[in-house]
Amino acid sequence: MKKIFLICLTAGITQFANAVPNFWESTSRQDTQSLSISSDNNSQLTISCHLNEMSVSGLRKEILVEHNGNFFETSGTKNPLSFLINDTNSFAPQTSNSGASKADWNTFLIALPSAKKIEVYNNNKFLFTLNPRNSNTGLDDLKACLIN
């Protein structure tokens, strides 16, 4: 199931390959809400959640980063992703549905609309910087991904 999700997510990402840099784009497909933004050097951050996949384990969610042809995701601790927003707030949201992970996920999503600068890290190594131009309006669909 996870492989199918990643294939669908990757297929969705290809549509953003020629997107305007530093501009949030939203898509909704088969009960999946995805928000993507690419950098000036075509690196990309995609945040997704499955709106109708609530179960005992909770809302299914993903963060996927594409950089220099490599893909990194938030599932597990092998390649942890972290983000520095506006040089002040650091986030390392996990996609599990434990209590702490839910709070981290929501705090990360709530911080994104005020983001003017997002630095993306993998294993504490800097990957790229995003400078969103439409965070205050382009992330309206993000509210659907918040966990109650």
The string of pLDDT tens digits covering residues 10-36 is 444 444 445 689 999 988 877 788 889
The token pair that represents 136 in the structure block: 């205050």
Give the 3-state secondary structure of residue 33: strand
Q: Which of 108, 147, 111, 144 is nearest to 32 (CA)?
A: 144
Q: What is the pLDDT of residues 40-68, one digit of tens each?
A: 999 999 988 876 655 445 557 888 899 99
Is pTM, for the whole model, over 0.85? no
